[in-house]
Structure 1
Amino acid sequence: MAQVCTRKGCGKKFDRGDSTECWYHPSPPVFHDALKGWSCCDKRVISFDDFLSIPGCTKGVHTTEVEASASAPAKPVAAAAPSHVDENGKEIYGAAPSVAKDLTSVSAPEAVKPTQKTLDDTKTVNTSELQDPEGAEIPLGTKCKRNGCEVTYDGSNRDGCAFHPGSAIFHDASKGWSCCKRRVLEFDEFLKIAGCQAGKHLYLGPKEEKSDAIEEVSCRTDFYQTPTTVIVSIFAKKCEEAKSTIEFHDERLTLDLFHQGSKRFKTELQLFGPIIPEKSKYKIMGTKVELTLAKGNGLSWSGLRAGEAGAGMIRFGVSGRTGTIGGKEIIYRDQS
């Protein structure tokens, strides 16, 4: 019969004599402000679900032994107090008299109340309204996704889920759920807090609907030039080269770029001057597409598109201090 490993961070089912590797956390969990993690690891997360998903850092074998919690240290026995003389001159052995305390002034400790910041930082997905799709095939052994439920699917158990619709709360040393009043100190005890709401198990969750709609967008375009080329940058992130097309023509440029999954930039540019298509090229980068256009006549472009004159004077210096390279004289295209 399959058993469940009791090591922290594992929780997998295993059979007797199973030599499958067990990855677990040998040290206790750490909760500081909104951060959660294990004292044996450096990783810290905010979401409680992400905390439960932190993989173990130590390799071992599965076990069903429950780790004993650290017992409270024994209260030290007070040493015998020295003798003293009272106001009547008698010598008395034992503890010296102490000043009486006003016990009524000592108030009982208040119950720990989570702050609003703690509630905001520990929000998890509310699964109370979610349901598995009708007729969905659930693989055997799939664990219920609802908070506080540890049941796995055995082929028929879809009902009888006891879970927490709220979010986990960790405030100072107190641990609990926002939907329940119970608070505990030990993390192991927190995991054992029974769910307060009943419903069906959630093994798969709702089916994600992928949208195939393509969004037509425009992309920022910039350029600079040398005496023989014009370098154009089109800022389209994560462009898909297999789906995109770039065509060079004598005096125009055709672009159809698919990027960021569902965005499309399609345009045709009438260029300021002629180019040599067979010598022009492009390069797709992570954040942009870079085109290198080979000039057809070596003249300076005052803009990228035909008729543009917003770029002003383009200097081709020889000292390297004016921001351009190459030519020794300035050649302008006749705009008349």
Structure 2
Amino acid sequence: MALLCYNKGCGQRFDPEHNAEDSCLYHPGVPIFHDALKGWSCCKKRTTDFSEFLSIKGCTKGFHSKEKPPEPSSQEKSSDEPKAQPAKEIIVQGPKSAEKMLRERPSSDEPRQLLPIKVSRSLEQALEKLNMSSEDRTLESTCTGKDKLMEGSGGIYQGPESNTEVCTFHPGVPVFHEGMKYWSCCGIKTTDFSAFMEQPGCSRGRHCWTEKKDKKAVLCRQDWHQTGSQVVVTVYAKNPLPALSSVKANRTVLEAHVIFEGNKIFQAELELWGTIDVERSFVSMVPAKVEITLCKASPGSWARLELPQSKLQCCGEPEKEAASTEEPGAVQDEDSDDSLSWSEEEDEEELEMGTPEMITPSN
């Protein structure tokens, strides 16, 4: 009795007594249907017509088989298709609650470190053209007693014995030209701002002391924006002086001391809403503004720039000036929408309670 051969691609009937080793011509592989092409995994021939696919002759000779092949599982795929990789587990962490953030918040008393300052080429050119008076060139940090006016000296008047000390200073002025930073009295040039600030004086003499002078403290127009990984605080000040300005920060507090054209000083201390990575934060200075880029300690969105209880701190009694497009350093009123000191919610409260007083540091 003739039997049906179940080898793929054969389908003929055969006599078991005359079943030789080369009697059957079949496909040992599996059918493949990919991108409208049809074929067998054991052959290279492909076609788009299903009838032609069924008529493709076998590629291997062997015995006829009367055993019916097992039905393929519905989950099995053809051999030439890539096996699906196990799905990776993605864990999405939601925003932390305000209570948890306060518990994990670092102390605001951590040491503050100076942020590196990047000076733009346009600001260097503006400072070169700026004809500063002797008083403008000798701005120094205020301190008790008397201040010295010698650039690069670092001495502070402690009493009559300070007059006997030898003063090492720079008689010239700072120069910023084509990316180089140096003193007009020296030939030592550097591209690194920190190295420029640490250059020792080139002349020796006696200290020149002067009584501490009041500086014109002003409130500058400010703004801020954020991305997923950064917060950028902008202070609009015309021609900031990088050699005399400084910005310090720890993980939760930002302290800015910006001196700019016209013997004006802007100083602010902000307790930040979130935490930052101080090592990756920096300051950029251009002729019209100072941008403080704070890298967030962890990605996410800040609800506001600073904590509600934080207030703007200014050096001395700030002078109110009318804002103008000609001088970005001009100051707006204390209730300006651009102020960093209060959020929109607090602005609504001001309408009922009045404008909050500015906090001034004690002398």
Q: TM-score, normalised by structure 2?
A: 0.26
Relative contact order: is structure 1 or structure 2 higher (C-alpha 8 Å, sep ≥ 6)?
2
**Higher fraction of helix:** 2
- The structure that has the greater radius of gyration is 2
